[in-house]
Structure 1
Amino acid sequence: MTPTARLFSRLKTGRLGAGWMVVASLLFGLMGVFVKLGAAHFTSIELVFYRTVLGMVSIGAVVWLRGQSLATAHFAYHFKRSAFGYLSLLMYFYTITQLPLATAVTLNYTSPMFLAGLSAWWLKERLGHRVLLSLGLGFMGVVLLLKPTFSADAWLAGLLGLFSGLFAGLAYLHVRELGRLGEPEWRVVFYFTLISTLGGLGLVLWHTPSPITWDNGWILLGLGTTATLAQLAMTRAYHDGNKFVVANLAYLTVVFSSVLGALLWGDVLPLEGYLAMGLIIVSGILASRR
């Protein structure tokens, strides 16, 4: 059997293992495309709201069909994880609407770097030489990547993109704690979508919501579908594949986003921009090996 035939066979039977992260990365890249397209019709707050609504309904339906319990003794952890995750998503979506897609995605993917630093500060974990190297490389990458934004009007978007990585790191820190407390992943994801949807509803209704029409409804459908399928594929990847391999493959989202941004909007970064992206990717890979 040829390699291509084996690949299609594994796709047909769902036996992709860590390869599911490749599927998830492509879907996350496409999600970013829909966010960027949606910016012409909706605010970032609205885009986040519609993304979490579909996720909540999809996951809630699966939970209901399986007869699983949503009862938890750790709601405070769920709330903090969801709050940090929601803030990260708001900043991330705003950054996507303002900066080249690859730049916005890369800034959000600084989260492993922040997670390593937060683990040392919050959980008193010891930082080894590899992690210290990753933090140094990540810092250099961030400086290079943000350099153009501070010489233009995009400095706010650049900072918010970086903060989206910080808040994502805080969210992942609480996900780790919930895992240690025995909370299943599906319950963590459901409470994130539920709390984010309720919080987002209040923000959306604060002003008159943008109208949904035949011309823009497909964008919301694409956003919700790609985000939900990406989440499912990522969960499957961590369930079936080697976690270190999966964590490394997650950075393919940056690659896919670079290609999609170049094809759809002509977003070609200067050489130092791609060097910065490389440094941040290496930083994340090293940090994930703690």
Structure 2
Amino acid sequence: MADPLTSGRSVSPALAFGIAAGGIGLFSIMDAFMKSLVLGIGVYNALFWRTMIGAGFGAVVWRGSGGGWPSRRAMRLHLARGCVTAAMATLFFWGLARVPMAQAIALTYIAPLLALLLGAWVLHERVGPRVVVASAVAFGGVLVVLAAQSRMALGPEALHGSVAILVSAVLYAVNLVIARVQAQAARPQEIAFFQSSVVTLLLACAAPWFLVVPGADSWPKLVIGAALGTSSLLLLAWAYAHGDTGYLATTEYTSFIYAAVLGFVVFGERVSLVTLAGAGLIVAACLYAARCRDIAGAGVEAAA
């Protein structure tokens, strides 16, 4: 009988999609906690303490599942994804503190389209000529979202935040591709623990200059944020072990609803019609590119 972890084919695509969507939902809620923390204690301390707590949660889950040291291949992937995640998360949360949540999430939607292109290059997953058209439309959507920002007169800080989020989205596309390969080499519990641990160690290098112990009011948010982040990693790692990169990457679009609602309820942020239009263009472009399963169906065995 085939090993479901390595084959990634023993469950239905719909189940993998649903699990990935659940992971994105938890991550979106974590974003709201992180935005509040970044505004209160800064991006470095919010990210360091949340990730360190998350590594602790991950260690409990990993040891409870039997532990075991990763293979050399898996460790290389853990290190690679951890490095990408550290840069990606720092840029994203720095930008999120300066940009409304819904607008920030809309800008990250270029990541699934980039993941399709990277999946074709690295994993040999098939893509069609429609990706070229979709890329142009998605780029237009990004310009519309940025235009919404200028109409809202959010100031230069928001522009800088948007640029940081766009760079983070490029790194997130790389993250998605590594996640697909990583999920074929390691179990979800191992991935959740080692990714958080690698990011924590990288951030710790800057501790002598930036580390501050948060006040008592920040710790509940840090713990909840860490629990949400670890749970999301477990769900996404499982999903990417059982589905194709381009197909599962479309679950990202559910996060816009969370961002719009949480941004309004928690931070009083309103979503403009222009932002909605831009997000719609990006989502439509990505769905058009990913409409047929066969664009993401090849090369899985080659990546394993």
| Same fold flag (TM > 0.5) | yes
Q: Which interval holds the TM-score relative to the shorter structure? A: 0.7 to 0.9
Matches within 5 A, 1:13-24: 18-24=17-23
Shift of 1:244: 7.8
Q: Which amino acid aligns with 1:157?
A: G
Shift of 1:138: 1.5
Q: Establish whether residue 184 from structure 1 lines up as the match of residue 187 from structure 2.
A: yes
Question: Which residue number in structure 2 is paired with residue 155 of structure 1?
Answer: 159
Letter in 1 for 2:118: L
Q: Contact 1:51–1:223 (CA<8 Å) still a contact in 2?
A: yes
- Taking the aligned partners of 1:269 and 1:250, their CA distance within structure 2 comes to 18
TM-score norm. by structure 2 comes to 0.78
Structure 2: how far apart are the matches of 1:137 and 1:218? 42
Number of residue equivalences: 273
Q: Which amino acid aligns with 2:234?
A: L
The range that moved more, 103-112 or 143-152, is 143-152
Greater Cα offset, 130-139 or 34-43: 130-139
CA contact (8 A) 2:70 2:186 kept: no
Matches within 5 A, 1:1-290: 18-74=17-73, 75-121=75-121, 127-149=127-149, 152-153=155-156, 154-179=158-183, 182-207=185-210, 209-235=211-237, 247-288=249-290, 289=293, 290=295
Task: Measure the CA separation in 1 of the matches of 2:78 and 2:239.
Answer: 23
Structure 1 stretches lacking a partner, 5+ long: 1-15
Q: Cα distance, 1:98 vs. partner?
A: 0.8
Aligned to 1:10: none
Identity of aligned residues (%): 23
Distance of 2:106 and 2:289 partners within structure 1: 15
Moved over 6 A (4+): 239-245
- Cα contact 2:179–2:240 (8 A) shared by 1: no
| Residue aligned with 1:268, SS | coil
Aligned-residue RMSD, C-alpha:
2.9
Q: Aligned partners of 1:136, 1:101: CA distance in 2, in Å?
A: 24
Deviations 1:6-54 (A, max 9, x none): xxxxxxxxxx875444543432222111112112321212222123222
1:85 deviates by 1.6
Structure 1 range deviating more: 92-101 or 185-194 = 185-194
CA distance in 1, matches of 2:88, 2:188: 19
Instruction: Work out the CA distance in 1 between the residues paired with 2:188 and 2:137.
Output: 31
- Residues 215, 126 of structure 1: CA spacing in aligned structure 2 closer, same or farther, 3 A cutoff? closer
Distance 1:235 1:120, change over 3 A: closer
Report the more deviating stretch, 83-92 or 144-153.
Answer: 144-153
Question: Shift of residue 261 of structure 1?
Answer: 0.8
Q: Any conservation in 2 of the 1:95–1:158 contact (CA below 8 Å)?
A: yes
Distance 1:125 1:61 in 2: 35
